[in-house]
Amino acid sequence: DAGVIQSPRHEVTEMGQEVTLRCKPISGHDYLFWYRQTMMRGLELLIYFNNNVPIDDSGMPEDRFSAKMPNASFSTLKIQPSEPRDSAVYFCASRKSGVSNWALNTEAFFGQGTRLTVV
């Protein structure tokens, strides 16, 4: 399996532009998570999906951020308009739920991240 695939790996954009980050989870995984990593705030959960449905978006910082998961193999995180303070590394992760015991499948697999720079 290729693992969690994120694109692009690096993105540099000007303030005010729309940015779309993409994620392909591991096949068969039914949970998908978006995290943001910054020096100041560390790793923050933005949103997560279960079976393509958003479960918890309380970490999404503002209305400028939106995430979708149109199918089991693809998710996007969009920032519109982007601002310099959005500069960070954005990680996508996926996990497969356990059949009868959630503890058996707790490992989340992370993509390599997208480094976003907004200038």
Partner 1 sequence: AQSVTQLGSHVSVSEGALVLLRCNYSSSVPPYLFWYVQYPNQGLQLLLKYTTGATLVKGINGFEAEFKKSETSFHLTKPSAHMSDAAEYFCAVTLMDTGRRALTFGSGTRLQVQP
110 is a contact residue toward partner 1 (CB under 8 A): yes
User: How open is the CA angle 17-18-24, to the nearest 5 degrees?
Assistant: 145
Residues 61-80 that bind partner 1 (CB under 8 A): none
* 81 DSSP 8-state letter: S
Residue of the chain from 23, 33, 36, 94 that contacts partner 1 (CB under 8 A): 33
Q: Which residues of 104-114 are buried (b: 16+ CB within 10 A; e: fewer)?
A: eeeebeebebb
CB of 52 vs partner 1, minimal distance in Å: 14
Alpha-carbon torsion 111, 26, 49, 101, what sign? negative
Residues 35-64 that bind partner 1 (CB under 8 A): 35, 42-43, 45, 48, 50, 55-56
Query: Where on the chain is the footprint of partner 1 (CB under 8 A)?
Result: 4, 31, 33, 35, 42-43, 45, 48, 50, 55-56, 91, 93, 95, 97, 102-104, 106-113
